[in-house]
Amino acid sequence: MVGLLWLMVPVALAAAPDPTSPAIVLLAQPALSQAAIRDQFAQKVRERFPGREILWAALPGLGSAPQASDAAEQLPDLAQVLTALQSRGVAQVALQSLAVLPGGDWEQRLADLTTQTGLKIAVGKPLLSSLVDRQRLLAGLAATFIHDKDQAVLLVGDGSRNPAALREYLALYTLLLAKFKESNLFFGTSNSLPKMNTALAALKKSPASAVTIVPLPAFADEPPPLPQLEALEAYRAALSVAKSATVQVYQKELGSVDGILAIYVDHLAAALDALAPKKPERKKKGKK
Q: What string of DSSP letters covers 112-173?
A: HHHHTSSSEEEE---S--SHHHHHHHHHHHHHHH-SSTTEEEEEEE-----HHHHHHHHHHH
pLDDT in tens, 185-234: 999 998 889 999 999 999 999 999 999 999 998 899 887 777 788 889 99
Residue-level pLDDT at 230: 85
Strands (E), 15-78: 23-28, 54-58
> What does residue 74 show for φ and ψ, rounded to 5 degrees?
-120, 145
Q: Tell me what percent of the chain is helix, strand and coil, each rounded to the nearest 5.
A: 45, 15, 40
Q: With a cut of 50, say whether residue 51 has pLDDT above it.
A: yes
What's the rounded Cα separation, in Å, for the pair 222 and 216? 10
Q: Which domains does the chain have, with CATH numbers?
A: 5-128+258-275 (3.40.50.1400), 131-253 (3.40.50.1400)
Q: Which of 158-162, 197-201, 269-273, 280-284 has the lowest mean pLDDT?
A: 280-284
Q: With a cut of 60, say whether residue 9 has pLDDT above it.
A: no
Residue-level pLDDT at 20: 74
Mean pLDDT of 128-140: 97
Q: Which of 40-54, 184-198, 211-225, 271-285 has the lowest mean pLDDT?
A: 271-285
The residue that leads in pLDDT, 141 or 5, is 141
Virtual CA dihedral for 12, 17, 22, 23, nearest 10 degrees?
Answer: 40
- DSSP 8-state code for residue 93: E
Mean pLDDT of 8-14: 42
